[in-house]
Structure 1
Amino acid sequence: MYNYIEYGGEEKSSEFVDDQEKYDQFMARIEAGEKIEPDDWMPDDYRQALIKLISMHGISEIMGALPEKEWTPKAPTLKRKLGIMAKVQDEMGHGQLLLRVAEDLMKPYGKDRGDIMEDLLSGDLKFHNVFHMPTKTWADAGMVGWLVDGAAIISQTNMLDASYGPYQRALQRICQEEVFHAQHGEAIIMALAEGTDYQREILQNSLNRWWPSLLMFFGPASADTTGSSKQDIMIKYKIRKSSNEELRQAFLDKYLPRVFSLGLTVPDETVHYDEERGQWNYQQPDWNEFKQIIKNKGPRSKERLRLREIAYENNRWVRQALAADKVGS
């Protein structure tokens, strides 16, 4: 990490000493609550953690627009159609904003946004597990807005004071808009909950389908579960504050009472609030299934990746024109 070279077991290179000093200064800034900017010196593991996090976040915003896009032409009223169209537009905008933030971090490696999209299509870049799932009914469109976006708000507000300035500032805007998205979803859910027996039935069925994915949303509790958790390094560098399990418990604290107040149930008979421990007990989802889903082996992974691939190819001429214009200038 620091180009460590040791001579005779004693003398360290001046390069190592310089980098160690830079690292100490960097950590002092982090601890003082200062924001790191793109041109500032940063350790490579910090940069890599940010690239992975922000690229995945940005691509997930773009891929997350697809499940609801499927229901845009089938929305039950003009008002609902306009609402879901506006939400899809916002999500795509969030993705573009975040990919620009990631692109700045990738410049030292000679990469740009095009590489991010190619990594997605090649399978090297993962997107969020929930967006591999099907949306079978209008209730699913509401569930994405209410509970999926609700989970996203909990995750993203945990990083509102992230140490990396451009990401922190982007999150300020994104979280404000996500609140409206959650309200949009909640309005759909409330209408269905107060509707006919059939509407309540499709709502309950939707919750049953989405529940395991919602529990998986925040990732496994520790690296031991899948061997791939990066939460420790992100907490160390103050990119985020809370662990995966703390975020999941915050989600349960907020939404389970609301779910139950609507007369809905969750497909887990073990769910109850443990007064002694001060937290919700629940049955762990199948983390092996989670690993398969994020490897693009989910129910709608191939179809949604194919849509992005088609869009990427159809717009290749735009990228080429812009690149030629840039060279000409």
Structure 2
Amino acid sequence: MTSLLNTAEEQVEQLAHFMQRIEAEDKIEADDWMPEEYRQTLIKLISMHGMSEIMGALPEKEWVPKAPTLNRKLGIMAKVQDEMGHGQLLLRVTEDLLLPYGKNRGDLMQDLFNGDLKFHNVFHMETKTWADAGVIGWLVDGAAIITQTNMLKASYGPYARALQRICAEEVFHAQHGESIIMALAEGTDEQRAMVQESLNRWWEALLMFFGPASKETTGSSKQDLTIKYKIRTKTNEEFRQLFFDKYIPRILSLGLTIPDPTLNYDAESNLWSYKQPDWNEFKKIIKNQGPRSQERLNLRRHSYEYNSWVRDALSATVR
């Protein structure tokens, strides 16, 4: 009995010490003791982020052969390469967290294929026009920068350090997308119409990118846990409001129209009111029922299986 009590007391003391470190803004490292809830929160967040980088390369990859000029081809190819690198970096960070369970990135890939590991809703969408490539770079990556820069001081050291590189490169990606959009917006009537049509299609997905405002919408408390453990400091809705503050003036300055007649800024509260996206549709999309979900998963699955010989060769070399 005494042994069990001591063990329970030690666990309470460990948790109290851990939370003291969190409050003191110490960095938690991979080999430090951490509560299971913290570890699982990190695994879910970082693996989803990593897979979103890998799956997020696919919509733009579709436009590499169709980009209008050689410089545009080189730019989007470099961006696709960067996104894949981000994904590999983040999956490596996740692997360290998986060590107690005897799992690795191969297991994460299988989780993706089985539907157990999600990726961002925006990367399930179609890229119908060249303007879509610009919207992804300018607004999707812009939204990602807002959330990721907030986690540069995340309590988990390996993730915070990985984000230093990722955020620096994402700035260039956003500039790349903005360059595409500005060129089209300053072009012919047809090109300007292409940008507006793309914005109309992507607007709801952009709002969904940040996730529901509260756990009541989906029953999820993930955002509460990430704030509790100081992985991030803002809620989904605060991120969405920051996105509005930064990008609505820029969108309007290009002569574009926001596809939401209810959108309004309240100077007294410093908040934007807007039409809520269809959160039921959001749930369907992240369950791999989006417009291009299965096609992109099949492409990634084929690539993973086709290149299995590379992994086999590397593992043989290590042994």
Q: Structure 2 length normalisation: TM-score? A: 0.98
Aligned-CA RMSD value: 1.2
**Matched position secondary structure for 1:241:** coil
Deviations 1:23-50 (A, max 9, x none): 1111111111110000000000000000
CA distance in 2, matches of 1:191, 1:229: 41
Pick from 144, 148, 153 the counterpart of residue 152 of structure 1. Answer: 144
CA distance in 1, matches of 2:290, 2:257: 25
Determine whether 1:41 maps to 2:36. Answer: no
CA distance in 1, matches of 2:121, 2:103: 26
Deviations 1:193-217 (A, max 9, x none): 0000000000000000000000000
CA distance in 2, matches of 1:104, 1:12: 30
Pick from 46, 70, 75 the counterpart of residue 78 of structure 1. Answer: 70
Pick from 158, 166, 176 the counterpart of residue 168 of structure 2. Answer: 176
Contact 1:220 1:229 in 2 (8 A): no
Partner of residue 142, structure 1: 134
CA distance in 2, matches of 1:22, 1:46: 13
C-alpha deviation, 1:326, in angstroms: 3.2
Matches within 5 A, 1:8-19: 13-19=5-11
Deviations 1:156-209 (A, max 9, x none): 011010000000000011000000000000000000000000000000000000
CA distance in 2, matches of 1:12, 1:256: 58
CA distance in 2, matches of 1:274, 1:226: 27
Partner of residue 217, structure 1: 209
The percentage of aligned residue pairs carrying the same residue is 73
Paired residues, number: 319
C-alpha deviation, 1:228, in angstroms: 2.0
For structure 1, which segment, 224-233 or 126-135, has the greater mean C-alpha deviation from structure 2 after superposition?
A: 224-233
C-alpha deviation, 1:12, in angstroms: 6.2
Gaps of 5+ in 1: 1-6
C-alpha deviation, 1:310, in angstroms: 0.4
Partner of residue 122, structure 2: 130
Partner of residue 3, structure 1: none
Q: Structure 1 length normalisation: TM-score? A: 0.95
Partner of residue 105, structure 1: 97
C-alpha deviation, 1:82, in angstroms: 0.4
CA distance in 1, matches of 2:64, 2:317: 36
CA distance in 2, matches of 1:25, 1:160: 23
Contact 1:87 1:181 in 2 (8 A): yes
Determine whether 1:298 maps to 2:286. Answer: no
**Matched position secondary structure for 1:134:** coil
**Matched position secondary structure for 1:280:** strand
CA distance in 2, matches of 1:15, 1:61: 41
**Matched position secondary structure for 2:154:** coil
Opposite residue 269 of structure 2, the aligned amino acid is R
C-alpha deviation, 1:322, in angstroms: 2.5
Contact 1:69 1:88 in 2 (8 A): yes
**Matched position secondary structure for 2:95:** helix
Opposite residue 185 of structure 2, the aligned amino acid is A
CA distance in 1, matches of 2:127, 2:304: 23
CA distance in 2, matches of 1:103, 1:311: 21
CA distance in 2, matches of 1:229, 1:89: 33
CA distance in 2, matches of 1:199, 1:39: 53
Deviations 1:203-242 (A, max 9, x none): 0000000000000000000000011240011101000000
Determine whether 1:193 maps to 2:185. Answer: yes
